[in-house]
Amino acid sequence: MPTRHTFLHALLATALLFAATACHHLPRPPDTRSTGEPSTAQPPTLVLLSLDGFRADYLQRGVSPNLQRLADEGVRAQWMTPSYPALTFPNHYSLVTGLRPDHHGVVHNTMRDEALGRFRVADTQAKSDGRWWGGTPIWVGAESVGLPSAVIFWPGGEAAINGVRPTRWLPWDDTIPPAARVDLALQWLDAPAPTRPRLVALYFETLDRAGHDHGPDSPEVDAAIAELDAAIGRLRAGLAARGLLEHTNLVVVSDHGMATVRNAIETEGMVDAADAALVSDGQSIGFAPLPGRAAAAESRLLGRHEHYECWRKQDLPPRWQYGTHDRVPPIVCQMDEGWDAVPRQKLQQRTPRAVTGSHGFDPASPRMRALFVARGPSIRRGAVLPPIDNVDVYPLLARLLGIDPSPNDGDAAALLPALREAAAEH
């Protein structure tokens, strides 16, 4: 029997689908229902945007004037280094928990757990199971002190984590275009102050898809950047129309960059299937030796190969801070930049292209560098900050919300220079 919660979300989903259909005919953001400037007694709202696959140097391409304006009016980091592995789900969850994947447990886009089974990003049931998601994401921290939150498609937002979900959330639906997601966020911000979300987190995947399909230097990637930039402009205009722009801290991030890929190998050629099972493929590849076959699997895999290198999980490079969690496979192989490793069947199903794009390579690579931009009443104006790690974002988010951060791996001092109050103290 449907619950009231399910019914409300069905209504929201219907409204969003209508907005998705209608948004192509709207030249500007929808009219506001705000009755004027918000009360200054209300702390600023925090809006967190993720542009999946936005490489740090994309900002210099000249096709994102709205994002550039936010950076000019606020702060940006020279770049942000992703956590290992430089993949979507692990890094999105690191951004909102401040924990490395090895500590929050989302160690890959595809993983196995002895008790929970297999996790894939396309598996709705797994994604909505809070047992996969360790730590305390920023929306759970907000909800636990009575601050309403809203999450649109951010990885982890569909799960009850520590028994808590955002006040408002939607199940994943990649048919909803960026403009419609913005419109829904603005609709939620039309709520009266006591129930208005203090935190809104929005996720956009279209740029990442373009990068994978066409490579980072393609016109399709530039077009995807422009589409997301238009959504940012739409959000800004909608906030301004509601009198909320100068009462909202905007933080724009990405999870990783994108590198050109021209070559791929078959995972079947890396080790005999009788010796080890494939756990994850792509750029960070995991193998689990079969019972009694560990020596044979290690003999074939460990060490340097022509286009990749493999380690026992406990011997991975220390700078990656990876390999202690039970979900990390016993053997991890890292592809050289520009190379993929995928099962033969998946490789045969790929559309032939001379150039594609991917991530998941060494986080130290300039092509893996991610974006950090912030603008708002709590943020300095016109500052360019040194490079940061993505786990440093969470302490800033907690500070902007005025909540105590949960235990995390971030450096709280790294983004203090982004704050007006910190600048005033010096």
Does residue 286 sit in the same domain as residue 407? Answer: no
- Higher per-residue confidence, 203 vs 350: 203
Q: Which residues are part of the catalytic machinery?
A: 88
On whether residue 253 sits in a domain, the answer given is yes
Does residue 373 sit in the same domain as residue 281? Answer: no
On whether residue 18 sits in a domain, the answer given is no
User: What CATH number should be reported for the domain holding residue 344?
Assistant: 3.30.1360.180
Does residue 252 sit in the same domain as residue 386? Answer: yes
| Distance in angstroms (rounded) separating the CA atoms of residues 257 and 81 | 9
Does residue 139 sit in the same domain as residue 279? Answer: no
Does residue 327 sit in the same domain as residue 375? Answer: no
On whether residue 295 sits in a domain, the answer given is yes
Say what the pLDDT of residue 25 is: 31
Q: Give the range of the structural domain holding residue 287, as residue numbers without chain letter.
A: 263-353
Does residue 278 sit in the same domain as residue 385? Answer: no
* Residue that finishes a domain, picked among 353, 374, 401: 353
* Residue that finishes a domain, picked among 353, 383, 417: 353
Does residue 222 sit in the same domain as residue 124? Answer: yes
pLDDT digits (tens, 9 = 90+) for 286-328: 999 999 999 999 999 999 999 999 999 999 999 999 999 999 9
Say what the pLDDT of residue 355 is: 78
Q: How many domains does the chain have?
A: 2
Q: Is the dihedral of CA 329, 209, 346, 360 positive or negative?
A: negative
On whether residue 23 sits in a domain, the answer given is no
Taking 60 as the threshold, does the pLDDT of residue 226 lie above it? yes
pTM assigned to the model: 0.91
User: What CATH number should be reported for the domain holding residue 202?
Assistant: 3.40.720.10
Does residue 341 sit in the same domain as residue 375? Answer: no
* Residue that finishes a domain, picked among 353, 386, 407: 353
Does residue 279 sit in the same domain as residue 371? Answer: no
- Span 41-46, average pLDDT: 84
On whether residue 36 sits in a domain, the answer given is no
pLDDT digits (tens, 9 = 90+) for 370-399: 999 999 999 999 999 999 999 999 999 999
Sorting pLDDT into bands at 50, 70 and 90, what band is 5?
A: very low
Say what the pLDDT of residue 2 is: 35
On whether residue 171 sits in a domain, the answer given is yes
